[in-house]
Structure 1
Amino acid sequence: MKTAEIAQRYLTYFEKQGHTIVPSASLVTDDPALLFTVAGMVPFIPYLSGDVPAPYKRAADNQKCIRTNDIEEVGKTPRHGTFFQMLGNWSFGDYFKEGAIRYAWELLTTPEADGGLGFDPKDLWVTVYEEDDEARDLWLRLTDLPDERIQRLGKDTNYWSTGLPGPAGPCSEIFFDRGPAYGIDGGPATDDDRYVEIWNLVFMQYEITDVKSKYDFTIVGELPAKNIDTGMGLERIAFLKQGVDNMYETDQVRPVLDKAVELSGRTYGADHEDDVRFRVIADHVRSSLMLLSDGVTPSNEGRGYILRRLMRRAIRAMRLLGVDGPTFADLFAASRDAMKDAYPIVGEEYDRLSAYALAEEATFLRTLAAGSEILDESVAQTKAAGGAELSGSQAFLLHDTYGFPIDLTLEIAEEAGISVDRAAFDTLMQEQRARAKADARSRKRQLADTSVYRDFRAQGETVFTGYTDLETESRILGILVDGHPAQRATAGQIAEVILAETALYAESGGQVADKGVIVGPGFELDVLDVQKPVPGLISHTVEVASGEVGVGQPATTVVDVANRRAARQAHSATHLVHAALRDTLGKGATQAGSLNRAGYMRFDFAWGQALSDATKSEIEEIAGNAVRDNLEVTTRVLPLAEAKELGAMALFGEKYGDTVRMVDIGGPWSRELCAGTHVSSSAEIGLISLVGESSVGASTRRVEALVGQNAFRELAAERAIVSQLTSSLKAPRDELPARIAELQANLKAAEKKIAQFEAKALGDRAPQLAETATRVGSQLLVAQSIGTAGSGDDLRTLAVQVRDRFGSEAAVVALAAEVNGRPVVIVATNDAARAAGAKAGVLAKAAAAALGGGGGGRDDVAQGGGADVAAIPAALQAVTAGLAAG
């Protein structure tokens, strides 16, 4: 049974049981505590918690998920995958334990010919929470499971909570017995790979507080509406129904594994380590493709870092399989073909998605080459110093700064005959992880408890009137002070105010929040921010400028008209620039993020190279022509499917319901789904002036523009500068570039002459410096500060000149100077000194330590530096002491 067929059977069954079929949410979640949708329940959290009324009593879905906390287990077990799909059925205050158990058992055990999944009841086991007698009795009554195949387990496995105050409850899990070939008898309690969990039924019936840990909390009481949250792992069902040993060999994953086998020339099933690598590649390539399809792009932080890590682990695995060159073109194409039927976007947008993957692969292959050079140098220095172990800090630097994998460091070091201080490396890694976890915990603690908005949201959605009105009369539904409900707020206090209606735009879709005021009888509130803390609810963060505001009072929201006008201009300008980019570069230049505020727009788009000046001018001209042509701007609210049929573009990071708002500028020329505020005709935008273009990732560029009055002011400022230059340089405007180029050439020539004079002056000091030599043991030493030097190269040249004056007599020269405000020491040794054991690199490192910095180099010439110029005498003394000790 194919994976897609399993999903369809599941959804068809629950649709027949009266469930609303809900499409999968994006892998990129709105939950600020999470980077990704890590579980099937994430999109339903507002309904499960009661913060937002559920739009249906019962639902079912097939939800895309990404989870990387067990990434090291990928490929080693039959079921660990970073991308996976969760089949879920949900009840929001409707059916409870009995219904959930009946539905699960019926679907699992109904024969395939009758639309079920065809599991033999004798192969199924069940676990329940040890204190949940009700669930155990229901399993016995509703199914033919014998008592011995229903096991009681504790909170660590069979009790669900988020780890935060809110809903919680016991759960019951269904397991499939793979048979004695896979492990010992004894049921799921044996915690063996023989018993595979295929379905988890969460009975969300309690509200908890005083949460000290996931298992230590206080139950306040039962929830007013009990919910059902169930999940069945699609990949787990697939590998069981397809008769393979693990999820990596199912129909949606195996094609990538087979392509890796083909590219490497190795055999799957012949070597355990190679098999793990093949499975890692298959999993990570599919996960990367799905993340790309939901708008995530490689970067060094957040979601982009996770994607980059997945890609680089796949590249590394291919390297360990003996393939050093690029492979993503083949691997990603194989994943596309396996996934496009279930997720058409990976086929429709493949050219754009694969561009990111190929660019990331090329970048990392260059990183591996550069890292290998750095590592080779570190290994050489270690061996030259007589060491047999590369420091853990050096290995960590390669990993953390250059993205160089530790296993590759170990491999190369071993080939060179030295080891790596793995214990020190692991300590540094643990410290980094601890910092990351602390940051995550801190972020989680700082999150507002959204349950405070539950009662407000239960009264209905906040009505936004700002598309047509700049003032709206309403009433105060609620006030929050320091995150807690309050009846009133007084002058000087910061508070959140919830209204039934508002004309103030809440930040979303790249457009920042409106500015304005809220006024009422005896009070005035300055609006600091406007947000949507839960879907459908708008909250205004305000400072009470005067008076006292209370719950239930009438209030009028008043938009700052000038700021709104400029924000509308910027947002509409963003649409014009997007259309101009696609006209100029092609359909591949799709949005990857935006920011619009009064007078300014920033637009990120998929593109792999810098734009030429000519291209930027063309984009600016196309957008400007659209302004000149006074194109009509229209908005329509219509079904999502109809908007897509009309060619409307969905913007990066936005979530859309069944009904959407479509913004047209000039008809289909610019047609996007957008909830922002816009001008009524393009001429209202005014001037659009591109002021910046830069890279923000391997395949993402950013353009910035000033809009309207801000653009005029910028051009006026530039005109004033040009006027000053024409006056100062006594040249017409058209001749300014040539005149400035001439001045630059003259300045460069003058600087070159000055450098030559300074170098000659330094060189003239060589005889005098040589005369300061003192004897240290069998060698002569010159250890002097020369004051200041133009560059480290000048100081190096002088040190070599002084050294060469000693001929065949053993001599060491250490010269120090202040270069650009920082201390620099150069140590030079001749052949005789080195034969006597003097090493410039060792002595320079000793000097640098005294300067509070670092240093080293070859045995003949080396350099050290630091931050403390006053420590130069101590640095020279360190050289003297080092030479005497050697």
Structure 2
Amino acid sequence: MKTVEIRQRFLDYFARTGHTVVPSASLISQDPTVLFTIAGMAPFKPYFLGQQTPPYTRATSVQKCVRTSDIDNVGITTRHNTFFQMAGNFSFGDYFKEGAITHAWALLTSSIEDGGFALDKDRLWVTVYETDDEAIELWHRIAGLPLERIQKMGMADNFWSMGVPGPCGPCSEIYYDRGPAFGKEGGPVADENRYLEVWNLVFMQDIRGEGGDKGAFPILGPLPQQNIDTGLGVERLAFLLQEVENVYETDLLRPLISTAEALSGKVYGAEGGKTDDVRFRVIADHIRSGTLLIADGVGPGNEGRGYVLRRLLRRTIRSARLLGVTEPVMPALVAQVRDLMTPLYPELTSDFARIERVAVAEEVAFLKTLETGSKLFGTAASDTRDSGSTVVPGDTAFALHDTYGFPIDLTLEMAEESGLTVDTAGFIRLMDEQKQRARADAKARKGGFADQSVYRELLEAGATEFTGYDELNSEAAVRGVISQGQRIPVARVGDIVEVVLDRTSLYAEAGGQDSDSGSILGAGMSAEVLDVQKISRKLWVHQVRITEGELAEGDAVLTQVDPAARARSNQAHTGTHLVNAALRELLGPDALQAGSYNKPGYLRLDFSWSGSLSAGAASEIEEVANRAIRSDLAVSTSLSTVAQAKARGAVALFGEVYGDEVRVVEIGGPWSLELCGGTHVQHSSQIGTLVLLGESSVGSGVRRIESYVGYEAFQHLATERALVENLSGMLKVPSKELPGRVSGLVERLRLAEKELAGLKSAAVLSSAQGLIDGAEQVGDTAVISELLPAGISAADLRTLATDIRSRLGSRVGVVALFAIVDDAVSFVVALTPAAVSAGKNAGALVTSFLPSIQGRGGGKAEMAQGGGTNPAGVTDARAALRSAISGAAG
């Protein structure tokens, strides 16, 4: 049974049983505590948390998910993927344990003709939470399972929570016995390789408190209603129904391995090729995950989602290189993902040109990284040998990996080829420290939903009505006043509190537009609005400072938007749309918006593009946008469904979640047609003017344009004009001759600096003989150790040390020069050939004094250099160096 049929059969069964079929959400998570959608229940999280009222009592979905917590183990095991599809059925206060068990058993064991999966009932086992006798009774009665095939497990395995205070409950997992060839008998408690988990049924019935995972938290009591959340792994069921050994041999992954075989000339599963098999599986897994992430709007970058995507793509490329592939692999692999996954995700074909362009650009960039990393490794290997060691330091390997993106296994392989090893323990320690910092950061962010619990009751009262499209002042009633996460009855002068109203004219930050400024007024009360945010896209939360009187729940108030600030915000947001349309007109449809931000008078727009824009292109974008402003284009808004809007050609932002009804902003007909909830001018001419400030990179494949509009644009131009007039007056030339005059001055300055550097270098070198004459004899070694006067640069140190060394000729000599540069120490240690022949090593000598100056540095046997942060320690450093030379001589 093909995977696409498994997916559809699951949805069809639950549709027949009264469940609403909900489309898969984006891989980009709307939960601020995680980067990606990591579970099938994630889009329903607000319903389980009570933040929103679900529009249905039962639902079903097949959700695309990405988890990368175990990315280093992908391919090593044969049942874990970074991308997977989680099929689930959900009940919100409707059926509970009996219904969930009945549905799962019926779907898994019914015949193919009846719409089921026809799994052998005698090979199915279940586990339940250790105190859930009710579930045991239900499985025995409904499924007829013998009690010996129903096993109890503890909280670590069979109790579910979100990891934060909120809903939780016991779960029951369904396992399939793959047979004696896959492990020992005894059920899931004995061997989870032989007994493969297929489906997890979560009985959400309790509320948990603060604490860690795995049961280190109290159960506070029952939920107001009992819910069901289940998850069936589509890929796992596929490899059972397709009767293959593992997920990598299923119909949506094995062809990717075949493509990698064709590229490499190697064979998957060949005898003695376990290492290569892991590489094949990494390629298949990572290219699928990476392609689907790009399709959902993620671009490669150095942090967050972009970093994860970059790592997936680069591990794919690196694995291909380790298989011996020398040509680019992205075009063939991404095309194969498109062909395999388009029946499930049609956007892979409709948006293929952009997806391929992003993947190919990352491959080109990474191949340059591999070239650079190989050179850096060559230097590190040489330094290791020169220091008399055969072990590349762990911090060197970590720097190659973390700073330059050079994979550790490639470092290990190159070290082995060079007859060296790597301090893997040191590397792992540094990696662990980095992971612990990341986990601590993630844990610190994990309380996002818990912090919103105070809003649940307010959400149940209904959404805040936003009136700000039509009016700047609105009468409203205070639903709640919140301070430090708690509702309070009244707020007084000086208090900074959060206020929830039944209606408001103040715009909440969303869609890249900053929140409105303004005030809230009541009887004898006034409050300054500091910020406005949305909770669950329905509740407007105003952060205010009480400036007069008192504010209490139930009060009648008036919201007032600062009209001047709103007008400037409108200019900026409409200006953003104009720049976006200009980009698409000039660069084509591949210049996709990747994010935006606008506030009164200012806008920035991020867009997907490889390479910088030329000055001419940037100027042309500015001209197109201003031409649209001068044309006085009408700006209109309308409401429609997402499908209708896209059919008209409306542009939607990748990763954004839209409701059933969306707002479409149209400027000049189809020229600019976007889904947008922001506020805008009524005619483009109301923007006044738009001035491009610059265009820059904000990550691989993502560019940023920044602009001023309206009065801010006028101020900027006035400032530029005053600057030009000032320079013209200073240089006594007309403004049109300024470029030539400034260019001439710059060239004269460059020549003067070159001449000065030559004089300075000559002065430095002139001191060489004096330092030689003052050399100290330590054993058989002439030692020149000197702290040079202020003003000596690191480059001067090296030049002088090299000159002194050459003048020492055949003597055994050590030259150690120090200088204080910007409150820090620079040093160079140079050895004559005779000193190196005598067994001395500059890199080793440096280590003797580094602690004194709190420094770092190193180098080869004949020369080492570096710096330190403790200038006061130079005297001790020079003494330590003499002791090291004296000890070596002894």
Q: Structure 2 length as normaliser, TM-score?
A: 0.96
Partner of 2:96: 96
Structure 1 residues 775, 245: CA separation in 2 closer, same or farther (over 3 Å shift)? same
What is the match of residue 128 of structure 1? 128
Aligned equivalent of 1:555, options 553, 557, 566:
557
Residues 733, 176 of structure 1: CA spacing in aligned structure 2 closer, same or farther, 3 A cutoff?
same
| Secondary structure of residue in 1 paired with 2:113 | helix
Distance in 2 (CA, whole Å) between partners of 1:96 and 1:492 is: 49
CA distance in 1, matches of 2:144, 2:864: 81
> Which residue of 864, 876, 879 corresponds with 2:878?
876
Q: How does 1:558-577 map to 2 (within 5 A)?
A: 558-577=560-579
Report deviation, 1:376.
1.9
Q: Paired residue for 2:673, among 656, 671, 674?
A: 671
Deviations along 1:730-775, one digit per CA (max 9) or x if unpaired, are: 0000100000111111111222222222222333333333322232
- Cα distance in 1, alignment partners of residues 196 and 406 from structure 2: 36
Deviation at 1:103, TM superposition (A): 1.7
Query: Who is 1:579 aligned against?
Result: 581
SS in 2 for 1:573: helix
Whether the 8 Å CA contact 1:774–1:782 is kept in 2: the answer is: yes
SS in 1 for 2:535: coil
How many residues were matched structurally?
886
CA shift digits 1:783-822 (9 cap, x unpaired): 3333135533333333333333344333333333344554
Matched, 1:216 2:212: no
**What's 2:45 paired with?**
45
In structure 2, runs of 5+ residues without a counterpart are: none
Deviation of 1:3 (Å): 1.1
Q: CA deviation at 1:447?
A: 5.5
Between the aligned partners of 1:102 and 1:709, the Cα distance in structure 2 is: 66
Matched-pair contact (CA < 8 Å) for 1:790–1:820: no
Question: Match of 2:732?
Answer: 730
Q: Distance in 1 between matches of 2:208 and 2:842?
A: 67
**1:138 positional shift:** 2.1
TM-score normalised over the length of structure 1: 0.97
Deviations, residues 568-621 of structure 1 (Å, cap 9, x unaligned): 111111110011011111110001111111111111111001100100010000
Counterpart amino acid of 2:627?
A: N
Tell me, in whole angstroms, the C-alpha distance in 2 between the residues paired with 1:413 and 1:210.
48
Which of 559-568 and 788-797 deviates more?
788-797
- Once the two structures are overlaid, the 10-residue window that deviates more, 738-747 or 357-366, is 357-366
Once the two structures are TM-superposed, the CA of residue 549 in structure 1 deviates from its matched residue by 0.8
SS in 1 for 2:554: coil
Letter in 1 for 2:54: A
Distance 1:162 1:762 in 2: 67
Please name the residue that 2:656 is paired with: 654
778, 782, 785: which one aligns with 2:784: 782
CA distance in 1, matches of 2:797, 2:218: 71
Matched-pair contact (CA < 8 Å) for 2:854–2:870: yes
Structure 1, residues 539-591: CA drift from partner, whole Å, max 9, x if none? 11112122111111111111111111111111111110011011111110001
Secondary structure of the structure 2 residue equivalent to 1:664: strand
- Counterpart contact for 1:356–1:698, Cα < 8 Å: no
Map 1:351-750 to 2 at 5 A. 351-445=353-447, 448-750=450-752
Deviates more, 1:372-381 or 1:686-695: 372-381
Q: What is the rounded CA distance, in whole Å, between the counterparts of 2:158 and 2:878 in structure 1?
A: 68
> CA 1:184 to 1:846, structure 2 compared with 1: closer, same or farther past 3 Å?
closer
Q: Deviations over 1:103-136 (max 9, x none)?
A: 2222222211222222232222222223222222
Offset at residue 324 of structure 1 (A)? 4.3
Change (3 A) 1:338 1:218: same
Contact 2:165–2:450 (CA<8 Å) still a contact in 1?
no
- Separation in 1 of the partners of 2:493 and 2:389? 69
**Paired residue type of 1:343:** Y
In structure 1, give the amino acid aligned to 2:711. Answer: Q
Pair 1:728–1:225, CA change in 2 (3 A) = same
- Per-residue deviation, 1:273: 2.2
SS in structure 2 opposite 1:172? strand
Q: Deviations over 1:518-557 (max 9, x none)?
A: 1111221211111112231111111212211111111111
- 2: CA distance between counterparts of 1:129 and 1:20? 29
Greater shift in the superposed pair: 873-882 or 607-616: 873-882
Residue 710 of structure 1: CA displacement? 0.7
- Is contact 2:816-2:829 (8 Å) kept? yes
Paired residue type of 1:716 = A
Match of 1:26 in 2: 26
Identify if the C-alpha distance between structure 1 residues 206 and 492 changes in structure 2 by more than 3 Å, giving closer, same or farther: same
Structure 1 SS opposite 2:9: helix
Question: Match of 1:407, SS?
Answer: helix
CA pair 132-763 structure 1, distance change in 2 beyond 3 A: closer
Deviation at 1:845, TM superposition (A): 5.0
Gap change, CA 1:862 and 1:269, over 3 Å in 2 = closer
1:788-867 alignment runs, 5 A limit: 788-819=790-821, 822-846=824-848, 848-867=850-869
1:40 deviation in Å?
Answer: 0.6
CA distance in 2, matches of 1:803, 1:178: 74
Q: Distance in 2 between matches of 1:813 and 1:212?
A: 58
8 Å CA contact 2:792–2:819 kept in 1: the answer is no
Residues 223 and 861 (structure 1), Cα distance of their counterparts in 2 relative to 1, 3 Å cut: closer
What secondary structure does 2:558 align onto?
strand
1:322-361 aligned within 5 A: 322-361=324-363
Output the amino acid matched with 1:713: Q
Q: Deviations over 1:414-443 (max 9, x none)?
A: 222222222222222222222221222222
Q: CA deviation at 1:446?
A: 6.3
Aligned to 2:237: 237
- Give yes or no for contact 1:845–1:864 (8 Å, CA) kept in 2: no
**Cα distance, 1:636 vs structure 2:** 0.8
Q: CA deviation at 1:508?
A: 1.0
One-letter amino acid matched to 1:131: T
Amino acid at match of 1:885: G
Of 96-105 and 19-28, the range deviating more from structure 2: 96-105
Give the counterpart of 2:276 among 274, 277, 280: 274
What is the CA-CA distance between 1:398 and the residue it aligns to?
A: 1.8
Change (3 A) 1:801 1:69: closer
Q: 1:122 to 1:843 in 2, by over 3 A?
A: closer
Partner of 2:145: 145
* 3-state secondary structure, aligned to 1:112: coil
Q: Percent identity?
A: 51
Judge conservation of contact 2:171–2:203 (CA < 8 Å) in 1. Answer: yes
Structure 2 residue matching 1:243: 3-state secondary structure: coil
Amino acid at match of 1:24: S
Matched residue SS, 1:787 = coil
Contact 2:184–2:191 (8 Å) recurs in 1: no
CA 1:838–1:449 in 2, change beyond 3 Å: closer, same or farther?
closer
C-alpha RMSD of the superposition: 1.9
Kept after mapping to 2: 8 A contact 1:36/1:67? yes
Shift of the 863–430 alpha-carbon distance from structure 1 to 2, 3 Å rule, reads closer
